[in-house]
Structure formats: structure tokens, C-alpha cells
Structure 1
Amino acid sequence: MHKKNIITAGKKTTEAAKALIMIHGRGGSAEDILSLANYLNVKDYALLAPQAAGNTWYPYSFLMPPAQNEPWLSSALSVLKELVEDVVADGIQPENIYFLGFSQGACLTLEFITRHATKYGGAVAFTGGLIGDKIYPENYTGNFGGSPVFIGTSNPDPHVPVDRVKASEQVLKEMGADITVNIYNNMGHTISQDEINLANQLVFK
């Protein structure tokens, strides 16, 4: 299972007004995703990136029945829950906590914030959607209170179907997120400069 192995950068949580939790993709690392901060308007933030055991948060596609990705999925979600609790304990309230993930990390980001919806600073999902063979509305509680959320994805993407991105957008919108989705034709499974620009405009403003 995952241990709470957090790589940090930027300001300390005890000294920063805002925190950004950055979640790497399958085969990636905490250090990889932290390097993205160089392109974001987050220079005064505390940056925290959890490291997945074996560089993957759960073994199978995010479109499998959730039980098939257990106990890894629950372990990953609990790492994020503990991390948020630690940040709050250091004096940063949820409305100043931000999330960012790529690919598997974007799926985990969206799944976590939607299971624990509240007024967050905002969230960025570079190629991701809510987790499961279908949407499970019973897993999602709370209200985002207008939190800005940006999802960017490619059409097509080899791992994340556009219809799941759109279904996820609908769930978050109904739960009060101020959500923006951009779908890029044939972008590939990557992060584009346009997505970075939009993340800065919409979320890290």
C-alpha cells in the first residue's frame, strides 16, 4: 500500500498562505510533477507532491470497476485525505488549498475532490475523469461553492475517453464547481502550453 511519502518544494506550509498538492501520473514521480510548478503562478505556494508506491496509484485503468483497483485506490485516496488534514493543521484552510494532477494523477485528483467537495482554492486536471466503470454518484458529497476547476484533454486520448471527461464535468458542475473543460483535437497524451496558460488564468490567478 501507499505510504505518506511527500516531496515538498516552495514555501513551508507553516509559512505559506496557499498550498498546491500535485499528483503524478502512472510511471511518473513526485519530482516530475513538482517540476511543472516552474510554469505556474505558484511561487508563493507551499508545494506538496505525494509519491505513489511503485510509481502507480492503482494497477488497472481508471475505467475498471473500482473494486478491481482496490485496495490501492482507497489507499491513494487516504494519503490525499491525510495530506489535506496536515495542511489544514498547519494553518491553511481548504479555500487556499489547490490540486493538480496529470493522467492517472488527474483522475485521482478529480475523484478525491469530488468525494470531499468543499470550497477549495481550485483544481487542475490535465487529462482525467472520475474513476470507475461508470459514474458512482453515491460516492460524491459536498458542494464546491464555486471553486474553479480546469480539465484539459485530447480527443482522442489513449487512456481517457472524452465522454468520461464530459460526464465528470457534469457531476462537478452540479456540485457547484466553476468548471472549464477544454478538448484539444489530436493533442496526444501530454500537457500543452495552452493548458498551462488556462490553468494560470482560471485557477492560479
Structure 2
Amino acid sequence: MSNLQYIVREPKIPSQNPPLLILLHGYGSNEHDLFSFAEELPEDLLIVSVQAPLSIGNGGYAWYSINFDEINGKFSDLKEAKEALDAIAGFIDDIKNKYTPNPEKTFLLGFSQGAILSYSFSFFHPNKIQHVLALSGYINTELLPENISTDIKTDYYCSHGSVDQVLPVAWARNSKPFLDNLGFKNEYSEYNVGHGVAPQNFFSFKKWIEARL
């Protein structure tokens, strides 16, 4: 059993096998952050918001450490990131066993560090999820399997703030050509916002989800 903490919004329209939406928050946040979207999202969704395992104080958590030093500058702990991917895989299995959601309608939505992991998760665990929503993140090429399966059917919603001061928009812009080159379905959009989700962005990805239910 996974030891990751989480909170749940049960479907407001009960069904035997509801579509599942997993939320992965960003660095320094917690499971309550993205959960604020839940009340405005489709009523038939089972929504599960997960808390990352590493406490960094003041109620904040991280999926993996981001370190700073004079030699390497800012760098990610890739070992912890891969451990986080394994933990998320086990967590999703546990949620599917507990709630028996629709196996063909699993959405993974991540913000920032959660978005980086959402991309990587889809490559390390082909077709375990059908839809990825990557908000204010990018594809970390250091966090990819040696060979990416060409049988991946997952599609991707990618968005970023054009004036993001935390993760440069140039990094995010690489996602579409990367996914295009692999032949994976994807949409990419930018919004005039910093490191956050603009209202127009929310309504855009909500519509994207609705079209896939």
C-alpha cells in the first residue's frame, strides 16, 4: 500500500466506474492547492489530490529536492524524482483498486514540479494514464526512460505563463516539438501570467477534460 497522503472529491454524479483525475501539486505546496479546482470541474469525476512525500517546512512539500550550490547552480535530485515516480505509480494502483474507476479514463494533472513528473510518468509507465495535463512545467530530458515507447496513446494538454519567473517559458515551448516528434497528440498554449494558472487557462483545460469524458 502507498503511504502518500491524499484528499478526495467523490463524484457528484455517482457511477460504478467513474473517470479518475489525479492532481500533483508543485514544489513547496500541498494537496490542498490544486484541490481548489475540484468544485468547478465536471461532476462525474473522481478527483484525488496527492501530497508529495518530502516535507520542506511551513506546510510545504516536494516530490524531489531542488538543490543550489555555487558550482552546479540549481539542480534537481533525479534519484528522488525517480523514487517519486515509483511512489505515484503505486499510489495510482491503490486508488484504482479502492475506487474501481474507469480504466480507460484516467487523467493526471500536474502543476510545475507536478507537471514535470506527469510528463515523465507517462513515458516510464506507458498508457497507465490516458490523459496528461501539464501546467507550468516542462519535459525534463534527464528524467526520461532510455527508450520511449512508440505505442503510447496518451494525449497531452500543455500550458505555461508567458512571463513565468520560476520556470522559463522557453523550456515549456520545447514540449510541443518533443511530443510532435514522437507522434503523440498534444495541445500547447500560453497565457499572459507568471507562475500560476490564469482563469482562461482553467476554463481551457476544463473544456479539454470535458471533451474526453
- Out of 154, 166, 171, the position equivalent to 1:159 is 166
Match of 1:129 among 138, 155, 158: 138
Q: Which letter maps to 1:60?
A: I
What is the CA RMSD across the aligned residues, in angstroms? 2.9
Matches within 5 A, 1:92-171: 92-118=101-127, 120-132=129-141, 136=144, 138=146, 140-145=148-153, 147-171=154-178
Greater displacement, 91-100 / 192-201: 91-100
* Alignment equivalent of 2:66, drawn from 60, 66, 70: 60
Q: Which has the higher strand share?
A: 2
Amino acid across the alignment from 1:40: L
Residues 120 and 144 of structure 2 are in contact (CA less than 8 Å); yes or no, is this contact kept in structure 1? no
C-alpha separation in 2, matches of 1:97 and 1:152 = 19
Q: Give the partner amino acid of 2:207.
A: Q
> In 1, are the aligned partners of 2:191 and 2:198 still within 8 Å (CA)?
no
Would you say 1:181 and 2:188 are equivalent positions? yes
Given the superposition, is the C-alpha separation of residues 32 and 16 from structure 1 closer, same or farther in structure 2, using an over 3 Å criterion? farther
1:20-39 paired onto structure 2 within 5 Å: 20-39=21-40
Greater relative CO, 1 or 2 (CA 8 Å, sep 6+):
1
CA contact (8 A) 1:101 1:107 kept: yes
* CA gap 1:156/1:203 in 2 versus in 1, 3 angstroms: same
- 1:89 alignment counterpart: 97
Q: Which residue of 2 aligns with 1:44?
A: 44
Conserved in 2, the CA contact under 8 Å of 1:126 and 1:151?
yes
Confirm or deny: 8 A CA contact 2:21 2:107 kept in the other structure. yes
Native 8 Å contact 2:124 2:144 kept in 1: no
Asked which structure has the greater CA Rg, the reply is 2
**TM-score, normalising length: structure 1:** 0.81
Q: Which runs of 5+ in 2 are unaligned?
A: 56-60, 68-72
Q: CA deviation at 1:202?
A: 1.8
- Change in Cα spacing, 1:136 to 1:70, as seen in structure 2 (3 Å) is closer
Normalised to the residue count of structure 2, the TM-score between the two structures is 0.78
Q: Which amino acid aligns with 2:105?
A: N
Please tell me whether the aligned partners of residues 20 and 45 of structure 2 are also in contact (alpha carbons under 8 angstroms): yes
Q: Among residues 71, 74, 80, which one is paired with 1:72 in the alignment?
A: 80
CA deviation map 1:105-162 (0-9, x unaligned): 1111112122223274422111011225x575626335332x4321110223222223
Which ranges in structure 1 are unaligned for 5 or more consecutive residues?
none
Count of residue correspondences: 197
Going by fraction, where is helix more abundant, 1 or 2? Answer: 1
Following superposition, the deviation at residue 104 of structure 1 comes to: 1.4
